[in-house]
Amino acid sequence: MKLCVVGAGGIGGTIAARMAADGHEVCLVVRGAHLASIRESGLRFVDQASAADGGARKFASQTGVYRLAAEPDGRAFGAQDAVFLAVKAHQLRSVLPSIATLIGPRTLVVPAINGLPWWYFHGIGGRFEGLNLQALDPDGALAAALPVAAVIGCVVHLAGELHGPGEVHCTAGRRLILGVADRISSAPRIAALVELAHALQEAGFIVERSPDIRRDIWIKLIGNLSFNPIAALTGYRMDQICADETVLEVIRAILREGAAVAAQLDIDIGMTPDERIAIARQLGSARISMLQDLEAGRSLEIAPIVGAVMELAAHLNIEVPATRMAHALIRARARTLGLPSQ
């Protein structure tokens, strides 16, 4: 397949390296020192994920250096079979002008992002169809440039880190969940999704086809909602959070609030807080993305993860006091470090 990864950090770099290792034609849209290093020395990928990930199937290490075409602007490349959007959700608007030419009539747009995606209420049908959240897409620019009919929903259950310019480490996990976003996709698009899922699986990912990608998004989202700000506030790795019972009580409170908001959207999370915590434990000693961003002095994904849920809670008249407290504290922490605070 011919594919482009926009943003080659921990997640995007992992996708790019594994697909390139399996022989696919991969290009990158990336900027700054990361771009300069990839152009000079290639993308250095370190596969730290367990060889036993996925149970019965064993995966060979894909550690290596991958010489990939890399540009700061997608206009250097033509239309792709698939475009993975792996920048932070709140940075998507800034890359729109540079990725338009990557997307042709048959291109699959795969947002490998945290938080509630901009397309969530487009193509959903029913009473929430077209609901526009200010935390996600205040003027509709994302929905206009990246229509739901082109989108393949993606939920990422792996952890990766950027270890300096040009070097990406996958620290845990291989699982990707894919599903159509508009629920009325044509037969050709379904066939393209099947082809993409097969290619990802052959490249070493554990791929699940979801009949209800919005539910899977919420299962991931409530985890991000609870664990991400707490990790950034405490400095804890995932295993440290899961070993601290007093912190887990805060996590459980936020998980319950997130599940209550989801329930009002007709989403049944279908698990207890402790069952959701058990999923998080599978990431071992991973450093959560919001902690990585805070320590690196990058802007934090507060709006698409926490702000969007708070906005929905207000719209639905649901009280979320623990979530509001975490939101206030992480914004304050960002301000003290001089980071953008959404």
Query: Which residues are designated catalytic?
Result: 220
Beta bridge pairs of residue 109: 83, 151
Q: How far apart are CA 60 and CA 203, in angstroms?
A: 10
Are the C-beta atoms of 35 and 70 separated by less than 8 Å? yes
The SS3 of residue 81 is: coil
Straight-line distance from the first to the last Cα atom of the chain, in angstroms, rounded to the nearest whole number: 37
Q: Quick count: other Cβ atoms within 10 Å of Cβ 265?
A: 18
Q: With left for phi above 0 and alpha for psi between -120 and 50, is residue 284 left, alpha or beta? A: left
Q: How many residues does the chain have?
A: 342
Residue 183 DSSP one-character state: S
Tokens 């490998």 belong to residue: 112
